[in-house]
């Protein structure tokens, strides 16, 4: 079933880029609302939908505008750096939520979305009387090139464990195992699972897994951040434990460039991870592969812009917000041609995703 917050919850903080203080109030919302922002500080308190059509091209973060047709208009209400807030809701399996904001840029918090997930845990989540709608990826889709790409493929059963690194030639265990024959067999399995949806006796539905997100971070030899990998299985427990605490990061050289432009001068190394020649500066890692975990968190937030649940194995090698958005657009092209089918949680298990904005 779809889920929303049991009660409103608020959080306050300062934006990394703007330095402005912002207060967020996350409110329960009706079924099929999805996740939606509302700028309560602006005249008319405009809503801003969480959908890729409203995404504005801006580097190093994900931002949304109200009007999808005139994105450069300075009077177009916007919300900035939304990926960590959306990731917190998707990861906690909150389908419907109105996020009231008093400024454009989301609070930096500690660079992760842990403060937000803790706030959500405190008020709890409420089940709603309406089923979730799910799209199953049934083909391999890839955007990018061999240097940096994002790929999604039908779910397989034998994916690598959370800390397994792919081999040096970047062929992942799951890629090697995915023969064309196997892929077709799994596609048949899913078709049968779809066919038994709603049938309490149909055992196949119970075996349909949730999404898997894998990220490989690789800045090349001798980089200040070493090559690392992470996989999340879309369970809520694993989200709060393994993804929510992972903080955003940057290299010292990039921090210096930003500061020379007057950006982030109010941000200290204790508010995010800054990597110099000798490792993290003025801070301590929460996980050895915290950077790969954070990039996985960004994937979860960015794929929230699809607007409905998509079940597949998402794999990113060196990908970022722009490639994530390209993948979302590719998926939407396919989803538009395929009817989404409603499942209950008993049939599907816990999935990461948000409610549909179209059916």
Is the distance from CB of 111 to CB of 245 less than 8 angstroms? no
The span of 64-72, 242-250, 259-267, 311-319 binding Zn ion (CB under 5 A) equals 242-250
**Least distance (Å) between residue 300 CB and Zn ion:** 10
- In the bound state with Zn ion, the residue whose beta carbon lies nearer, of 153 and 318, is 318
Q: How far is the CB of 87 from Zn ion (least distance, A)?
A: 8
Burial class for 46, CB neighbours closer than 10 Å (0-12, 13-18, 19+): middle
Q: Which residue's CB is nearer to Zn ion, number 59 or number 222?
A: 59
Measured from the CB atom, is 137 or 299 closer to Zn ion?
Answer: 299
- Binding footprint of Zn ion, residue count (CB under 5 A): 2
Q: How far is the CB of 248 from Zn ion (least distance, A)?
A: 4
Using the minimum distance from each CB to Zn ion, give the nearer residue, 234 or 248: 248
CA–CA separation, 62 vs 141, rounded Å?
Answer: 22
Of 131 and 298, the one with the shorter C-beta distance to Zn ion is: 298
Compute CA distances 329 → 44, 49, 96, whole Å.
30, 16, 22
Q: Which two tokens stand for residue 60?
A: 């190093």
Nearer to Zn ion, 33 or 112 (CB): 112
Stretch touching Zn ion by CB under 5 A, among 18-26, 100-108, 246-254, 260-268: 246-254
Site for Zn ion in 259-288 (CB under 5 A): none
Tokens (6 digits) for 323: 């490639």
Distance of CA 277 to the CA centre of its chain: 30
Nearer to Zn ion, 37 or 249 (CB): 249
Using CA atoms, how far apart are residues 212 and 296, in angstroms rounded to an integer?
10
Judged by CB under 5 A, the stretch of 6-14, 33-41, 157-165, 298-306 that binds Zn ion is: 298-306
Across 134-166, b (16+ Cβ under 10 Å) vs e yields bbbbbeebebbeeeebbbbbbbbeebeebeeeb
| Locus of tokens 């979730």 | 132
Q: Which one of 39-47, 156-164, 245-253, 316-324 is the stretch in contact with Zn ion (CB under 5 A)? A: 245-253
- What's the min distance (Å) between Cβ of 299 and Zn ion? 10
299 contacts 322 by C-beta, under 8 angstroms:
no
Interacting residues with Zn ion between 202 and 231 (CB under 5 A): none
Q: How far is the CB of 126 from Zn ion (least distance, A)?
A: 28
Shortest distance in whole angstroms from residue 264 CB to Zn ion: 14
Which residue's CB is nearer to Zn ion, number 4 or number 240? Answer: 240
Which residue lies nearest Zn ion, judged by its C-beta? 298
**DSSP, residue by residue, 57-85:** --TTS-EEES-TT-TT-TTS-EEBS-HHH
Q: Please report whether residue 298 would count as binding Zn ion according to CB under 5 A.
A: yes
DSSP at 209: -
Is residue 248 within the footprint of Zn ion (CB under 5 A)? yes
The number of C-alpha atoms within 13 Å of 44 and in the hemisphere containing its C-beta is: 7
**What are the residues binding Zn ion (CB under 5 A)?**
248, 298
């Amino acid at each position: 079933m779809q889920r929303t917050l049991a009660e409103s919850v608020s959080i306050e903080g300062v934006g990394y880029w703007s330095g402005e203080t912002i207060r967020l109030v996350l409110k329960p919302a009706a079924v099929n609302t999805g996740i939606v922002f509302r700028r309560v500080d602006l005249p008319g308190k405009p809503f801003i939908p969480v959908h890729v059509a409203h995404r504005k091209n801006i580097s190093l973060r994900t931002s949304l505008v109200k009007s999808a047709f005139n994105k450069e208009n300075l009077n177009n209400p916007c919300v900035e750096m939304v990926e960590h807030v959306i990731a917190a809701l998707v990861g906690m399996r909150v389908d419907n939520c109105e996020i009231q904001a008093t400024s454009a840029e989301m609070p930096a918090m500690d660079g992760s979305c842990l403060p937000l997930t803790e706030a959500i845990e405190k008020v709890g989540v409420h089940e709603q009387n309406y089923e979730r709608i799910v799209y199953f990826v049934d083909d391999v889709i890839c955007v990018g090139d061999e240097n940096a790409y994002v790929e999604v493929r039908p779910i397989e059963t034998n994916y690598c464990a959370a800390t397994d690194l792919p081999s040096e030639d970047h062929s992942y265990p799951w890629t090697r195992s995915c023969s064309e024959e196997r892929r077709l067999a799994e596609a048949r399995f899913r078709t049968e699972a779809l066919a038994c949806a709603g049938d309490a006796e149909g055992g196949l539905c119970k075996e349909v897994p949730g999404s898997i997100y894998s990220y490989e971070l690789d800045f090349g030899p001798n980089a200040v951040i070493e090559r690392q990998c992470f996989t999340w299985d879309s369970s809520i427990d694993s989200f709060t434990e393994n993804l929510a605490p992972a903080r955003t990061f940057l290299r010292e050289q990039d921090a210096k460039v930003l500061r020379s432009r007057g950006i982030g001068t109010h941000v200290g190394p204790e508010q995010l991870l800054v990597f110099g020649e000798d490792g993290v500066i003025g801070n301590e890692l929460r996980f050895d592969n915290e950077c790969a975990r954070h990039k996985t968190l960004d994937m979860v937030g960015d794929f929230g812009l699809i607007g409905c649940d998509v079940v597949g194995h998402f794999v990113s090698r060196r990908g970022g917000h722009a490639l994530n958005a390209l993948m979302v657009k590719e998926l939407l092209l396919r989803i538009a041609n395929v009817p989404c089918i409603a499942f209950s949680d008993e049939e599907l298990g816990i999935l990461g995703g948000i409610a549909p904005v179209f059916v």
